[in-house]
């Protein structure tokens, strides 16, 4: 009995030292020697000032949270309030969840009385799939009798801005696209981590005219920057070609 207890204690101490201290120190040392930039967060500096990380997405907006027209915008983020590295994660919503696709007649619509409805009673002219918000701005996905809703100046419902239909509307308005114009999927959905730094080529090209106008640059010049920033597919065959938004915006700032 004593021998078994002693053996167990020795094994516990050995494994603790080897795996709890030795292994992390070896891995950290190898990372510092062979992958110093990546091990330290792939931080990007400009004129000696930290401007971000090439591995983590970030927003390019003003103090009120509005996207800055002179910069390419990243995809939506479900990490905290947006690109919060301490809250990485996806929304994990089901394909018929109104917080994702809005209220779609025949799929997930609910009437003002809470019963199933063949139409969306909250539809607005701009957004037939509108999910209304309460006066505090919270989306209402389970309407009940007596529920209060936020209303706009014209009396229509105020829609939750984080549904795909609303994000598509905002994307078209920001980039001067026609109503109903196709929208790249990464422009309206968050990534699995909520921290992806890249956008698709289609997303970047949609934003070119806006950025060019805001910076008084020829569109051809901005398109060339997008082409140079094309990172291709991972390992040459995985996924789709992407553009690192931070790298692209820094290249723009170097021009004007």
Q: pLDDT for 40-88, tens place per residue?
A: 667 788 888 888 888 899 999 998 889 999 999 999 998 888 888 888 8
**Which pLDDT band, with edges at 50, 70 and 90, does 156 fall under?**
very high
Q: pLDDT for 174-184, tens place per residue?
A: 999 999 899 99
pTM score, whole prediction: 0.83
What span, in angstroms and rounded, lies between the C-alpha atoms of 126 and 119?
15
Q: pLDDT for 82-137, tens place per residue?
A: 888 888 877 788 889 999 999 998 889 887 777 778 899 999 999 999 999 999 99
**CB-based contacts of 171, cutoff 8 Å, min separation 6:** 177, 183, 187, 188, 206
For residue 211, count other CB atoms closer than 10 A to its CB: 24
């Amino acid at each position: 009995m004593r021998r078994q207890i002693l053996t167990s204690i020795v094994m516990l101490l050995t494994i603790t030292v080897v795996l709890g201290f030795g292994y992390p120190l070896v891995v950290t040392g190898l990372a510092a020697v062979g992958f110093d930039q990546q091990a330290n967060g792939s931080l990007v500096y400009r004129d000696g000032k930290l401007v971000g990380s090439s591995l983590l997405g970030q927003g390019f907006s003003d103090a009120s949270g509005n996207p800055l027209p002179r910069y390419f915008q990243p995809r939506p983020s479900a990490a905290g309030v947006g690109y919060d590295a301490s809250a990485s994660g996806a929304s994990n919503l089901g394909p018929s969840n109104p917080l994702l696709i809005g209220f779609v007649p025949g799929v997930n619509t609910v009437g003002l009385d809470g019963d199933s409805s063949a139409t969306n009673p909250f539809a607005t002219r701009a957004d037939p799939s509108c999910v209304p918000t309460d006066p505090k701005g919270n989306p209402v996905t389970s309407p009940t009798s007596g529920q209060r809703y936020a209303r706009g100046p014209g009396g229509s419902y105020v829609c939750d801005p984080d549904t795909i239909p609303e994000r598509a509307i905002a994307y078209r308005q920001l980039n001067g696209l026609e109503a109903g114009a196709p929208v790249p999927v990464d422009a309206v959905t968050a990534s699995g981590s909520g921290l992806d730094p890249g956008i698709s080529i289609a997303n970047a090209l949609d934003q070119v005219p806006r950025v060019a106008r805001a910076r008084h640059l020829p569109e051809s010049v901005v398109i060339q920057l997008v082409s140079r920033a094309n990172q291709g597919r991972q390992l040459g065959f995985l996924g789709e070609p992407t553009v690192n938004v931070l790298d692209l915006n820094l290249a723009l700032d170097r021009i004007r």
